[in-house]
Structure 1
């Protein structure tokens, strides 16, 4: 199926292989659990494998078929119960229960995205919401913190604790009394400037650089 254009031609063979292969969870093939007998495959006929399950009478065939199906289904139920317990242990091995209390702030997972948008650029966590009631160990009633405060009941798997950042105090550096020395020194080109223009030029350059620094600090804080 390299071209992926003849999948309809390959599908019957794939389904035959799936239905005649024993499953690890049940121990039986899907065909046996449905028909009460294995499918007679071409290789079985070619090598003379027994595949005839005929009975002397119709009543005997029905009785034998019912017994085989009942026995297989009983065995499968027990095996599936063991498989479910094993999978539950694997699933719960690395999971720790997260509990929320009333008035806790949480984020709500909303994986659905509007039509025409990509999930990669979407924001799946909405909120924040506030927990208003604890219905059980894993079910909560939450309310939107924004008006009109719509309420909904959700499972704990869709919640994530919202940590509110403390307000950060932004300290703006004080203006230096003296501007920093210019590089190269003023003395190298002082002779080319009119009298009294050195202090004005240096002060103007320092004011511009200081303004840019303050703007950079404000933008950095806002984006952070």
Structure 2
């Protein structure tokens, strides 16, 4: 029953049902059988397979267009929350280090360490950082998603997942 419901439900990203995408028509559900369905628009044609192939091709083109629109919308929403500008050399940042400390409850642990200073920007998303105030501290190479701007001992997350 679950799979029947899934295959006959219209999806937001494709604006069509999985059954229509695969078979070219929606599934006939029990209410359709009990109360009847609307008659087909056209009669059966001699070239059933050709018309069905054309119909499936049109459905697949429609789905591809919808998926492109949906993925563009999701990318735009993701980019709003991302720190696309990054950091400059010398900026102070928080470093997200999700290692658990033995003997301390995970709920009471803080996973943000810092401040760290950005030493070099290796590329758009990879940075070399070093703990600020410790010139002999070991340098770390980290991804942009593990960094957050440092300002007055308050963590300002770069992404929603880091809140």
**Larger radius of gyration between Structure 1 and Structure 2:** 1
2:115 matched residue in structure 1: 128
TM-score (ref. length: structure 2):
0.66
d(CA) in 2 for partners of 1:107, 1:49 = 61
1:26 to 14, 34, 40: 14
**1:38 and 2:26 are equivalent in the alignment:** yes
1:158 matched residue in structure 2: 146
TM-score (ref. length: structure 1):
0.51
Gaps of 5+ in 1: 1-12, 166-224
User: How far apart are residue 160 of structure 1 and its match?
Assistant: 1.4
1:77-125 residue CA offsets vs partner (Å, 9 max, x unmatched): 2122223333444555577755321132311223464799754322121
How large is the RMSD of aligned CA atoms in angstroms? 3.7
Measured at CA, do residues 130 and 94 of structure 1 come closer, stay the same or move farther in structure 2, by a change above 3 Å?
Answer: closer
Q: Would you say the 8 A contact 1:108–1:129 is kept in 2?
A: yes
Q: Would you say the 8 A contact 2:120–2:129 is kept in 1?
A: no
1:10 matched residue in structure 2: none
Q: Would you say the 8 A contact 1:143–1:150 is kept in 2?
A: yes
More helix by share: 1
Gaps of 5+ in 2: 154-163
d(CA) in 1 for partners of 2:106, 2:23 = 44
d(CA) in 2 for partners of 1:93, 1:18 = 32
More strand by share: 2
